């Protein structure tokens, strides 16, 4: 089996608390390419110990940033990793054992094990998480969404070993993240003429809580499951309110 070099691509902003552990987990790669949105903390200082392929670029969206960075990679196969993710030794070994020269696959789904405040979450909707992260540079691109876009490729396979994901450092960061993401989601939905904002405001939060806490067995995750279910319902309510606000604003602009 011929060896196939792999480029790791990381997009980041002010990730001094996360970036070193992330980079340490991918230092085996043949190239680490980092695109930074003009961090003001120690992110670049830390990253420079692991790679000299560091770009700075104005942030517009996750999709825009990654779809710009991917073609800059030197090698045909790209592994995208977020700053709050870690490639385990087992996952690294599985990736390196792949015959990426002969494979007919264009990209691989990788499961994520999610952790919240020091403990793995098995249910609550977080236990079924998977993402396409290893793919052909010239084929894979992130779909055109401001948030939670997925890498799209024609032919996919699945890896067995998961990556580790630490999406929440603190409640402050979680609330700030919800504020950003709900704004972007509301903008995406309004641009697609989604008419369900008012219905979502009334029905989405309680249904979301019931789904995550009961149907997705969040109660088995204890207080973490309760917190995830509650924050998911809160995010749904905030997003719906922002949709209504945007629709009202657009309606007023049309009347001017």
125-176 pLDDT, tens digit per residue, is: 999 899 999 999 999 999 988 777 899 999 999 999 999 999 999 999 999 9
Report residue 89 as tokens: 């030794």
- Ordered by start, the domain boundaries in the chain are 6-168, 171-255
Alpha carbon distance 61, 249 (integer Å): 22
56-97 pLDDT, tens digit per residue, is: 999 998 999 999 999 999 999 999 999 999 999 999 999 999
This prediction's pTM = 0.91
* pLDDT of amino acid 238: 96
Please say whether the beta carbons of 8 and 91 come within 8 A: no
Domain 6-168 is found in CATH 3.40.50.720: no
| Residue whose C-alpha is closest to residue 212's, from 84, 149, 150, 121 | 121
Report residue 110 as tokens: 């990788």
Place of tokens 């996360």: 18
Alpha carbon distance 77, 248 (integer Å): 45
CB atoms within 10 A of CB 201: 17
């Amino acid at each position: 089996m011929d060896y196939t070099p792999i480029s790791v691509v990381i997009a980041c902003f002010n990730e001094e608390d996360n970036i070193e552990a992330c980079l340490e987990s991918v230092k085996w790669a043949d190239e680490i390419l980092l695109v930074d949105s003009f961090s003001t903390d120690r992110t670049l200082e830390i990253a420079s110990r692991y790679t000299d392929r560091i770009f700075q670029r104005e942030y517009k969206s996750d999709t825009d940033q990654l779809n710009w960075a991917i073609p800059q990679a030197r090698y045909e196969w790209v592994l995208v990793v977020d700053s709050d993710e870690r490639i385990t030794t087992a996952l690294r070994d599985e990736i390196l054992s792949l015959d990426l020269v002969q494979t007919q696959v264009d990209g691989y789904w990788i499961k994520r094990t999610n952790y919240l405040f020091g403990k793995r979450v098995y249910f609550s909707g977080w236990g079924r998480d998977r993402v396409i992260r290893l793919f052909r540079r010239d084929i894979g691109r992130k779909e055109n969404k401001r948030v939670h876009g997925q890498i799209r490729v024609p032919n996919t396979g699945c890896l067995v070993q998961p990556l580790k994901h630490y999406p929440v450092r603190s409640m402050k960061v979680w609330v700030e993240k919800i504020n950003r993401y709900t704004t972007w989601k509301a903008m995406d939905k309004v641009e697609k003429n989604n008419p369900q904002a008012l219905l979502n405001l009334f029905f989405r939060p309680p249904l979301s809580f019931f789904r995550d806490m009961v149907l997705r067995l969040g109660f088995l995750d204890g207080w973490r499951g309760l917190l995830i279910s509650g924050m998911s319902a809160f995010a749904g309510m905030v997003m719906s309110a922002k949709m209504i606000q945007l629709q009202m604003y657009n309606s007023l602009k049309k009347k001017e």
